[in-house]
Chain A
Amino acid sequence: MGVIAATTYDFPSADSLDKFHGNLVAYVGWEDHLLFCAPFAFALPPNTSFKSFCEDMLIKAFKYHPDTQKIDWKSVEWFKSGKPWSPDVNKTLAENGLKHKDALRFRTPGLKGIKESCN
């Protein structure tokens, strides 16, 4: 449909990739762990290895939860934009096809949060 304005109305996006100093933005939510209220946002270099992304950054971000130390990255199920996604841990984010502002979710089978309440 498009905006209806009095004259030409055409402005750049505030959050295009070029504005992040070489980083891209990615969001990661941990399903069934609503103790963390919302998916986390990360700004990181596209050539970050997926392994270090999980084992360093995500562990650090989610460290508060008692389930975190039980995470078995090999059995984690990944989703990108809601669809199943199979990243290669030995590749970088970019090599895995991760784009700026992609939304990821991971599910840890068997781990359902505090008292299994999805918290």
Chain B
Amino acid sequence: MDMKVKKKLGLKERYSIMTRDLGWDTTFQPMDKVFPYDKFEGIKIHDWDKWEDPFRLTMESYWKYQAEKERKLYAIIDAFNQNNGHLNVTDARYINTIKLFLNGVSPLEYMAHRGFAHVGRQLTGVGARVACQMQSIDEIRHIQTQIHSMSNYNKFYNGFHDFTHMHSRLWYLSVPRSFFDDAITAGPFEYMVAIGFAFEYVLTNLLFVPFISGAAYNGDMGAATFGFSAQSDEARHMTLGLECIKFMLEQDPDNLPIVQGWIDKWTWRGTRVLMLVGTMMDYMLPKRVMSWKEAWEIYFEENGGALFKDLARYGIKVPKCAETATIEKEHITHQTWAALYQYGAATNFHTWIPSPEEMDWLSEKYPNTFDKYYRPRLEYWAEETKKGNRFYTETLPQLCQVCQVPMFFTEPSDPTKICCRESDYKEEKFHFCSDHCKEIFDNEPEKYIQAWLPTHQVFQGNCFPEGADPSAPDFDPLAELLKYYHFNVGRDNMDFEGSEDQKNFAAWRDISVKN
């Protein structure tokens, strides 16, 4: 028996043996057949060995540390449930933000889980695949911990009860749904730029900080705990996204224009989705964390600015849309809330007019825009509501073909004029909210002409329950649409004032504090 002195392995070398060394170049089957999808986009990779592991986590460590987090998290969720934690939130209007989250955002975590499994199989580089697979399993963690945290709210409040059904059907939810469908149907490298980089790195704080801080500020232990627990996962995801960009750019200069195009496209698509988050920050959190304008300035203009300065050495430029998004930061939340408010008969969360104090906060945070453009409509609606004439629109809105948001955005140069752009493709007209959505369409029209646009789908008769007869004389399209949505009408929708949520929360609060 020989006692060889064993070579001491450095961390990098050890991790390499534990991960990328497991793979091999196949010979019985050609590599191109084993990895059929990672060349067609035109991204040139010469040497996958140059991939730098963004983090090093063996499965042993993964299971150990993640299980520890799960134990802690579920202990808190259990305590939250047992002690009617939901009654500790600032006020019942807050609960509508988590309805938005469960219906709009959580299903995207599921899509990310499947999407990262896909790239975790399709990228030729073993190291990259391992990192993507860890993100895939992290993402199912996220959707499940979210469902489990919010499950308690579903027991006591309305609008949570059929979230995956609604995510695939509701008019405003096609915004996030189409966003992720777009990413997952793209090639693997574009997916990595769209989600790994644009969403999980550039824009991540604009999703995460508002919701989770919003939860913390408003007494929502359930959501805040999930959020804090997810932070270390998100840190890994950020490093993966960044490494992917750097790797592609370092492999071949020909990759630069492709990657830049994707960064431009996905920063824009992501920003459009995030306007729901911004609106939540400005209008739906009883105790506000900061304004969307402030969040944009910190997380995009400052932090994002620093990032793009750093990437400039590869030839990457700040995304084209940055200027528009920066102008829009003072407008989009007000415009979005106005839209959700007037279409409140068809939202699965409540809407309301901000109180005078809240409007003063908005004036202060938006000195250039709120009083001039948006206060007049809100005050008018408040007055009319007092007269019993609460504004509900029943006519469907025109939607942008690409981002699928109703066309309520205004010209960057003139906030009194709706911004409309159009393209003709194969003798059919398509409409867009902005130059950037138009450009996305013009680059890949074959893709975007397929979109399932809610307004058009309603007109085609595809949004009614089976057996509904649109030609019947007493056919009520809104009622049938809400049946298709699986709404509990009068409980999920309409104004917060007078809602079951409002009544119940007040009554239960009373029970828990009065004798």
A: residues with CB less than 8 A from B are 1-6, 9-17, 19-21, 23, 25, 27, 29, 31-32, 34-43, 60-61, 64, 81-82, 99-103, 105, 113-115, 117-119
What number of residue pairs across chains A and B have CB atoms under 8 A from each other? 147
Would you call A19 and B460 a contact (CB within 8 A)?
yes
Binds A, one of B268-276, B277-285, B373-381: B373-381
Residue contact A36 to B342, C-beta cutoff 8 Å: yes
B residues adjacent to A (C-beta < 8 A): 36-37, 40-42, 187, 335, 338-339, 342, 372-373, 376-377, 380, 389, 391, 393, 395-399, 406-408, 410, 416-418, 420, 422, 426, 428-431, 442-447, 449-453, 455-456, 459-461
Is the Cβ of A39 less than 8 Å from the Cβ of B407? yes
Question: A1-B443, A117-B372 are known contacts; what are 6 more A-B pairs with Cβ within 8 Å?
Answer: A4-B42, A14-B452, A23-B459, A27-B431, A101-B431, A114-B376
For B446, the chain A residues whose CB sits under 8 A away are: 2-3, 5, 9-11
Interface contact A40-B420, CB-CB below 8 Å: no
Can you list 17 A-B pairs with a CB-CB distance of less than 8 A? A1-B442, A2-B446, A3-B447, A11-B446, A14-B451, A23-B459, A34-B416, A34-B418, A35-B380, A37-B335, A37-B406, A38-B339, A41-B459, A60-B395, A64-B389, A64-B393, A100-B428
Q: Closest CB-CB distance, A6 to chain B, in whole Å?
A: 5
Contact A38-B42, Cβ < 8 Å, known A11-B450, A102-B429, A103-B398: no
CB distance B431 to A38 under 8 Å?
Answer: no
List residues of chain B with CB within 8 A of the CB of A15.
Answer: 428, 449, 453, 456, 460
B429 contacts A100, CB within 8 Å? yes
With a cutoff of 8 Å between Cβ atoms, the chain B residues found around residue A21 in the complex are: 460-461
B398 and A41 form a contact (CB under 8 A): yes
Evaluate whether A101 and B444 lie within 8 angstroms (CB atoms) in the complex, with A11-B449, A14-B449, A37-B335 already known.
no
| Minimal Cβ-Cβ distance residue in B for A36 | B393
A11 to B420 alpha-carbon distance, docked (Å): 26
> Smallest Cβ distance from A11 to chain B, in angstroms?
5
Closest B-chain residue to A39, C-beta based?
B398
Least CB distance from B188 to A in Å reads 11
A-chain residues with CB within 8 Å of residue B338 when the two chains form the complex: 34, 37
Q: List the A residue with the shortest CB-CB distance to B41.
A: A4
Among A3, A15, A102, A115: residue with most chain B CB under 10 A? A15
Task: Compute how far the CA of A25 lies from the CA of B459 in the bound complex, rounded to whole angstroms.
Answer: 8
With both chains docked as a complex, state the minimum distance between the C-beta of B328 and any C-beta of chain A, in angstroms.
15
- Taking the nearest CB of chain A, how far is it from the CB of B194, in angstroms? 15
Taking a contact as CB atoms under 8 Å apart, the answer to whether A37 and B342 are in contact is yes
A114 to B410, CA, bound (A): 18
* Pair B376/A119 contact, Cβ less than 8 Å: yes
B82 to chain A, nearest CB (A): 43
